[in-house]
Amino acid sequence: MLTGDLLLSSLAEDVRGNAHYFNADKYQKIITLWLHPENTIWARMIDDRLEPALSKTIFTICFETIDLQLAIDLSDKLHNISDVYLGALEVDEASPVHWSLYSNFIGPRYRIINRRATVFWDGFSEDSKDFGSLERLRTLGFQQAEFESLNGRYTLAFPFYEFGLYSCGFRGHPL
């Protein structure tokens, strides 16, 4: 499971010299390509919540290997219990917009296999261990909750690590 802010607007910047400028036309194209990439994807977005959310920072949770029925069930439940839930969509690994959004702005956070959960840490600094997240997982009823080292993957020490192990289906493509 990867989490982070989906920084759509950062893909709509133009650079002139050392200055960065927001390009509204490019932003609209990014939104369209995010929601409707070239390849057909599964999507369940809540249209009346989407427009207001685009002016804010969107937090995302990305599951690497989840079957369609579980995705539908989770989406339905989240829609019913949250007034800020936007929806769910399949990540298109061939889409440059999806690739940029999901590989550059979100990172590995948890691994859940059946009733076992792990919280990732960088593998270098004990300070990177999130004990609060570990405790929350334990209170949610997982049979086992522990830390798992990333051994430096997804850090500045290994900036070109290839996604595939933890990502949203991206295979063999360097960051």
> In the 8-state DSSP scheme, what is residue 160?
T
d(CA 166, CA 175): 13
d(CA 101, CA 87): 16
Q: Is the CB of residue 105 less than 8 Å from the CB of residue 6?
A: yes
Q: 102 in a domain, yes or no?
A: yes
Q: Is the CB of residue 20 less than 8 Å from the CB of residue 14?
A: yes
Which residue has better confidence, 162 or 78?
Answer: 78
Q: Which residues are paired to 144 by β-bridges?
A: 116
Q: 142 in a domain, yes or no?
A: no
Q: 81 in a domain, yes or no?
A: yes
Per-residue pLDDT band for 154 (boundaries 50, 70, 90) equals low
Predicted confidence at residue 75, as pLDDT, reads 92
Q: 93 in a domain, yes or no?
A: yes
60-108 pLDDT per residue, tens:
988 888 888 988 999 999 999 998 999 999 999 899 999 888 887 888 8
Q: 37 in a domain, yes or no?
A: yes
Q: Is the CB of residue 8 less than 8 Å from the CB of residue 101?
A: yes
34-55 pLDDT per residue, tens:
999 999 888 999 989 988 888 8
Q: Is the pLDDT of residue 33 over 90?
A: yes
In this structure, which amino acid lies at residue 107? G
Q: 134 in a domain, yes or no?
A: no
Q: 75 in a domain, yes or no?
A: yes
124-147 pLDDT per residue, tens:
888 889 999 899 889 988 889 999
Q: Is the CB of residue 3 less than 8 Å from the CB of residue 62?
A: yes
Q: Is the pLDDT of residue 171 over 60?
A: no
d(CA 63, CA 22): 30
Tokens of 87: 């929806």
Q: Which of 52, 20, 13, 50 is nearest to 34 (CA)?
A: 50
Number of domains in the chain: 1
d(CA 122, CA 150): 5
Torsion angles phi and psi, residue 131, rounded to 5 = -65, -30
Predicted confidence at residue 168, as pLDDT, reads 32
Q: 100 in a domain, yes or no?
A: yes
Per-residue pLDDT band for 28 (boundaries 50, 70, 90) equals very high
Q: Is the CB of residue 43 less than 8 Å from the CB of residue 87?
A: yes
What residue numbers bound the domain in which 54 lies? Answer: 2-108
